Amino acid sequence: DVKVTQSSRYLVKRTGEKVFLECVQDMDHENMFWYRQDPGLGLRLIYFSYDVKMKEKGDIPEGYSVSREKKERFSLILESASTNQTSMYLCASSLRQGASPLHFGNGTRLTVT
């Protein structure tokens, strides 16, 4: 079974802090993704990566950056956290692009005060 592990289940940060969300997958998947889930808005894609050191912007990349230095690890960075970034953050991986299911981690509930 694919395992996608997000380092924290809950995080509370202050406005203006730099925040790192870490994600690791153990199935040698090429592709990794960061989504955020908000009530009434569904899952929105922030960034994704289809190879080490490669990244692509999703629908809502503003205020975020990512890092993929190793195949198994994909980090989401909030350069200067703001209250509108309070959300559930979901990491996912897939074997290939397009027609391939995503496997999700359990999410990180981030609260920015």
Partner 1 sequence: DQQVKQNSPSLSVQEGRISILNCDYTNSMFDYFLWYKKYPAEGPTFLISISSIKDKNEDGRFTVFLNKSAKHLSLHIVPSQPGDSAVYFCAASSNQAGTALIFGKGTTLSVSS
58 versus 63: smaller Cβ distance to partner 1: 58
Per-residue buried b or exposed e for 64-82, using 16+ beta carbons within 10 Å of the residue's own CB: bebbbeeebebbbebeebe
Tell me the sheet residues that pair with 88: 37, 109
For partner 1, the binding residue among 66, 90, 110, 112 (CB under 8 A) is 90
For partner 1, the binding residue among 82, 97, 111, 113 (CB under 8 A) is 97
Q: Does 61 bind partner 1 (CB under 8 A)?
A: no
| Phi (first) and psi of residue 14, to 5 degrees | -95, 155
Q: Say if residues 34 and 96 touch (Cβ distance below 8 Å).
A: no
Min. distance of Cβ 26 from partner 1 in angstroms? 15
Give me the residues that bind partner 1 (CB under 8 A), please: 4, 9, 31, 33, 35, 40-45, 48, 50, 56, 58, 90, 92, 97-99, 101-107, 109
